[in-house]
Amino acid sequence: EVQLLDSGGRMVQRGGSLRLSCAVSGFTFRSYTMHWVRQAPGKGLEWVSSISATSLSTYYADSVKGRFTISRDNSKNTLYLQMNSLRAEDTAVYYCAKDRTTKVVEGGSLDNWGQGTLVTVSS
């Protein structure tokens, strides 16, 4: 059974930093692109960042570029999101998600999601 367990969310002051983790099991982690998606309270889904299977390629939404860093440790089956210079608008539930396919050209849909971890940025 595929499982993704998000953790690390908490309340943090504006300008602060936080690292989210996503521990996975039940699939060959090192073969899949992974993603972070967030959802502000009462709002829709917003893609945040993605990382290729080998970490060779990373991608960011313009809203977080230069402040967030995605990474992964394939030996530990864990995905990370380092969040710096946090703003009030970063307040959201953050989900890690697995790409549906190992075929990069067909990628981008997300077939398994973590339960989400809440990040609250206080001013």
Partner 1 sequence: EIVMTQSPATLSVSPGERVTLSCRASQSIFTDLAWYQQKPGQAPRLLIYGASTRATGIPARFTGSGSGTDFTLTISSLQPEDFAIFYCQQYHNWPPVTFGQGTKLEIK
Nearest distance in Å: CB 20, partner 1: 14
Beta carbon nearer to partner 1, 17 or 40: 40
- The footprint of partner 1 on residues 74-113 (CB under 8 A) is 95, 100, 107-113
Handedness of CA 51, 87, 38, 21 (dihedral sign): positive
- Rounded to 5 degrees, φ, ψ at 90 are -85, -5
Tell me if 61 contacts partner 1 by CB under 8 A. yes
Q: Choose which of 23, 30, 46, 74 interacts with partner 1 (CB under 8 A).
A: 46
Give whole-number Cα distances, 76 to 10, 36, 79, 116, in Å.
Answer: 23, 18, 9, 20
Closest CB to partner 1 among residues 73, 106: 106
**How many Å apart are CA 46 and CA 81, to the nearest integer?**
15
Binding site for partner 1 (CB under 8 A): 35, 37, 44-47, 50, 59-61, 95, 100, 107-116
